[in-house]
Amino acid sequence: MFEAVFPFGALPADDVARLCLTTLRIDPAARVRLYEKEVNQRAMCREAQRRQHFDVEVSGYRLEWSGVNNNDLAFLNATGTKEGEPLALVSSLSEKMPLTTARLYDDEYEHWQNAHDPLQYDAVGRSMEGLPMKKNDLPPPLDKMIVDTSRNPGRRILRDGYVEAVGHRMWLGSEFFRRVPGTRRDAIISASALKVTELREDLLDIVAHDEPFIDSSTADLQDRLRRLLFPTTAGT
């Protein structure tokens, strides 16, 4: 799965939609499923302009554009991308709006790395045996024990202005070094465990592992990558 993070309101949703369709070379005549309704691409862009978010399926892709105003964050999530297409999206989108981060990750692994409610486990018959637990700090009768995910290597945390999360392949844009406290470009570029390419002056391409992170076998690498990229918040 592909996720890219930008400042909230960095580009109108309809412009983001058109840019994605063009970058992925979607046939202009291809029909789109927008919120479970089949429409043409022009109607999809009009609806995206009205709502300022979208969730579409087209030609084997699913594209979602959303945001969190309070954290100054906008997200593009894409599934179904093929080799080279995430980089193409990063390149084209970052030329139109300031990129914070983008990454590739395994959706199933990240889901369970961040699942804290026991109901999520009960619903699919998944065992919680051995998982750390903590109180949810809500008043009665809402108080209960939940899974403590705060030390999971695959945790994803919304911070003010950025998302603290890692992937085996990542891109850091111009906004990353403005928004993430304590991070050092020179330390990232010189990190021996990473393959780092400067695609542009304002865009780094990082390869931390050949395959997506899917289990604890890469936990140490994930933790080291997190501490490198998010040095002031990785332990909180």
Instruction: Please determine, for residue 154, whether its predicted confidence score (pLDDT) is greater than 80.
Output: yes
Mean pLDDT of 10-17: 98
Residue 234 has pLDDT above 80, yes or no: no
2-36 core/surface letters (b: 16 or more CB in 10 A; e: else) = bbbbbbeebbebbebbbbbbeebebeeeeebebee
What residue segments make up the domains of the chain, in order of their start? 2-111+164-229, 115-147
Average pLDDT over residues 143-160: 97
Average model confidence (pLDDT) across the chain: 96
Give the pLDDT band of residue 143 (cuts 50, 70, 90): very high
- pLDDT grade for 236, boundaries at 50, 70 and 90: confident
Give the Cβ contact number of residue 160 at 10 Å: 9
Q: What is the pTM of this model?
A: 0.95
